[in-house]
Protein backbone atom coordinates (compact mmCIF):
# COMPACT_ATOMS: atom_id res chain seq x y z
CA UNK A 1 0.00 0.00 0.00
CA UNK A 2 1.27 3.45 -0.93
CA UNK A 3 0.92 6.32 1.49
CA UNK A 4 0.17 9.87 0.59
CA UNK A 5 2.44 12.28 2.42
CA UNK A 6 0.21 15.08 3.69
CA UNK A 7 1.06 17.82 6.08
CA UNK A 8 -1.34 18.49 8.93
CA UNK A 9 -2.44 21.94 9.92
CA UNK A 10 -1.32 21.53 13.56
CA UNK A 11 2.30 20.64 12.84
CA UNK A 12 3.66 21.96 9.50
CA UNK A 13 6.64 19.60 9.59
CA UNK A 14 4.69 16.46 10.41
CA UNK A 15 3.61 14.12 7.62
CA UNK A 16 0.70 11.75 8.04
CA UNK A 17 0.48 8.47 6.21
CA UNK A 18 -2.94 8.10 4.65
CA UNK A 19 -3.49 5.26 2.24
CA UNK A 20 -4.02 6.26 -1.37
CA UNK A 21 -6.74 4.64 -3.39
CA UNK A 22 -5.43 2.11 -5.95
CA UNK A 23 -7.14 3.88 -8.86
CA UNK A 24 -5.36 7.15 -8.22
CA UNK A 25 -1.88 5.68 -8.57
CA UNK A 26 -2.28 2.94 -11.14
CA UNK A 27 -2.45 3.72 -14.82
CA UNK A 28 -4.72 1.74 -17.05
CA UNK A 29 -3.35 0.30 -20.27
CA UNK A 30 -4.86 1.84 -23.40
CA UNK A 31 -7.93 0.05 -24.62
CA UNK A 32 -6.92 -2.72 -27.08
CA UNK A 33 -9.81 -1.73 -29.36
CA UNK A 34 -8.54 1.84 -29.50
CA UNK A 35 -5.05 0.61 -30.45
CA UNK A 36 -6.54 -1.64 -33.12
CA UNK A 37 -8.59 1.25 -34.50
CA UNK A 38 -5.51 3.47 -34.60
CA UNK A 39 -3.48 0.78 -36.37
CA UNK A 40 -6.23 0.21 -38.94
CA UNK A 41 -6.55 3.95 -39.55
CA UNK A 42 -2.81 4.35 -40.16
CA UNK A 43 -2.79 1.33 -42.48
CA UNK A 44 -5.79 2.65 -44.40
CA UNK A 45 -4.14 6.08 -44.81
CA UNK A 46 -0.99 4.43 -46.18
CA UNK A 47 -3.02 2.40 -48.69
CA UNK A 48 -4.97 5.48 -49.79
CA UNK A 49 -1.76 7.49 -50.22
CA UNK A 50 -0.18 4.64 -52.19
CA UNK A 51 -3.27 4.32 -54.36
CA UNK A 52 -3.07 8.05 -55.07
CA UNK A 53 0.55 7.75 -56.21
CA UNK A 54 -0.33 4.84 -58.49
CA UNK A 55 -3.24 6.79 -60.01
CA UNK A 56 -0.91 9.75 -60.54
CA UNK A 57 1.62 7.45 -62.22
CA UNK A 58 -1.08 6.06 -64.54
CA UNK A 59 -2.25 9.57 -65.46
CA UNK A 60 1.28 10.78 -66.21
CA UNK A 61 2.69 7.73 -67.96
CA UNK A 62 0.24 5.00 -69.04
CA UNK A 63 -1.64 5.14 -72.31
CA UNK A 64 -2.84 1.74 -73.48
CA UNK A 65 -3.84 1.32 -76.15
CA UNK A 66 -2.06 4.36 -77.53
CA UNK A 67 -4.41 7.26 -78.21
CA UNK A 68 -4.77 7.85 -81.94
CA UNK A 69 -3.31 11.04 -83.40
CA UNK A 70 -2.06 12.22 -86.81
CA UNK A 71 1.53 12.30 -85.59
CA UNK A 72 3.60 12.20 -82.41
CA UNK A 73 3.61 15.99 -82.05
CA UNK A 74 -0.18 16.08 -82.01
CA UNK A 75 -0.25 13.04 -79.73
CA UNK A 76 1.98 14.68 -77.10
CA UNK A 77 0.14 18.00 -77.13
CA UNK A 78 -3.25 16.30 -76.95
CA UNK A 79 -2.21 14.04 -74.08
CA UNK A 80 -0.79 16.93 -72.04
CA UNK A 81 -4.06 18.86 -72.42
CA UNK A 82 -6.38 15.89 -71.83
CA UNK A 83 -4.53 14.76 -68.73
CA UNK A 84 -3.93 18.30 -67.48
CA UNK A 85 -0.21 17.71 -67.16
CA UNK A 86 2.13 20.59 -66.31
CA UNK A 87 4.48 21.96 -68.95
CA UNK A 88 7.64 19.99 -68.22
CA UNK A 89 10.79 19.48 -70.31
CA UNK A 90 9.90 15.83 -70.98
CA UNK A 91 7.20 13.25 -70.32
CA UNK A 92 7.10 9.60 -71.35
CA UNK A 93 3.98 7.62 -72.12
CA UNK A 94 4.21 3.85 -71.88
CA UNK A 95 1.91 1.85 -74.14
CA UNK A 96 1.35 -1.31 -72.07
CA UNK A 97 -1.53 -2.44 -69.91
CA UNK A 98 -1.59 -2.17 -66.12
CA UNK A 99 -0.97 -5.88 -65.61
CA UNK A 100 2.35 -5.68 -67.48
CA UNK A 101 3.40 -2.61 -65.48
CA UNK A 102 2.66 -4.43 -62.22
CA UNK A 103 4.55 -7.45 -63.56
CA UNK A 104 7.68 -5.27 -63.88
CA UNK A 105 7.38 -4.50 -60.15
CA UNK A 106 7.12 -8.19 -59.29
CA UNK A 107 9.57 -9.72 -61.74
CA UNK A 108 11.71 -6.98 -63.24
CA UNK A 109 15.47 -6.74 -62.82
CA UNK A 110 16.23 -5.23 -59.42
CA UNK A 111 18.18 -1.98 -59.80
CA UNK A 112 17.87 -0.77 -56.20
CA UNK A 113 15.64 -1.44 -53.20
CA UNK A 114 12.42 -0.20 -54.87
CA UNK A 115 13.49 0.27 -58.51
CA UNK A 116 12.88 -2.37 -61.17
CA UNK A 117 13.66 -2.56 -64.88
CA UNK A 118 11.60 -4.48 -67.39
CA UNK A 119 13.16 -7.59 -68.87
CA UNK A 120 11.99 -6.68 -72.37
CA UNK A 121 11.44 -3.56 -74.42
CA UNK A 122 8.00 -1.92 -74.53
CA UNK A 123 6.55 0.73 -76.84
CA UNK A 124 6.88 4.28 -75.48
CA UNK A 125 6.38 7.82 -76.71
CA UNK A 126 8.75 10.48 -75.41
CA UNK A 127 7.30 13.98 -75.41
CA UNK A 128 9.97 16.70 -75.43
CA UNK A 129 9.13 20.36 -75.03
CA UNK A 130 9.80 21.98 -78.40
CA UNK A 131 10.94 25.40 -77.20
CA UNK A 132 11.08 27.33 -74.01
CA UNK A 133 8.46 29.98 -73.52
CA UNK A 134 5.49 30.76 -71.39
CA UNK A 135 3.49 27.83 -70.04
CA UNK A 136 0.54 28.94 -72.21
CA UNK A 137 2.70 28.19 -75.26
CA UNK A 138 3.80 24.75 -74.09
CA UNK A 139 4.25 22.63 -77.23
CA UNK A 140 5.85 19.24 -77.62
CA UNK A 141 7.48 17.13 -80.26
CA UNK A 142 7.22 13.39 -79.88
CA UNK A 143 9.33 10.37 -80.62
CA UNK A 144 8.10 6.77 -80.51
CA UNK A 145 10.42 3.86 -79.78
CA UNK A 146 10.70 0.56 -77.95
CA UNK A 147 12.91 0.23 -74.90
CA UNK A 148 13.19 -1.19 -71.43
CA UNK A 149 11.25 0.61 -68.71
CA UNK A 150 12.50 1.47 -65.25
CA UNK A 151 10.09 2.26 -62.42
CA UNK A 152 10.05 2.77 -58.68
CA UNK A 153 7.55 0.41 -57.04
CA UNK A 154 5.71 0.37 -53.73
CA UNK A 155 3.47 -2.50 -52.64
CA UNK A 156 3.71 -4.14 -56.06
CA UNK A 157 2.64 -1.14 -58.16
CA UNK A 158 4.68 1.49 -60.03
CA UNK A 159 4.60 4.95 -58.53
CA UNK A 160 7.41 6.72 -60.41
CA UNK A 161 8.91 6.48 -63.88
CA UNK A 162 12.72 6.51 -63.89
CA UNK A 163 14.31 7.81 -67.06
CA UNK A 164 17.10 5.55 -68.31
Q: Which residues are catalytic?
A: 61, 160
Whether residue 65 is preceded by a cis peptide bond, meaning omega within 30 degrees of 0, is yes
Residue 104's CB: how many other CB atoms inside 10 A?
23
Between the two ends of the chain, the Cα-to-Cα distance in Å is: 71
| Residues 159, 116 contacting (CB under 8 angstroms) | no
Amino acid sequence: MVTNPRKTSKDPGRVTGRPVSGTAMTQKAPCPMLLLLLLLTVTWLMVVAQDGKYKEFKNKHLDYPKTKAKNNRQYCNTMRQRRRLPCRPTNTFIHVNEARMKYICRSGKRISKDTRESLRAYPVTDCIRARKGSSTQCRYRGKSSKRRIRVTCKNGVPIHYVQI
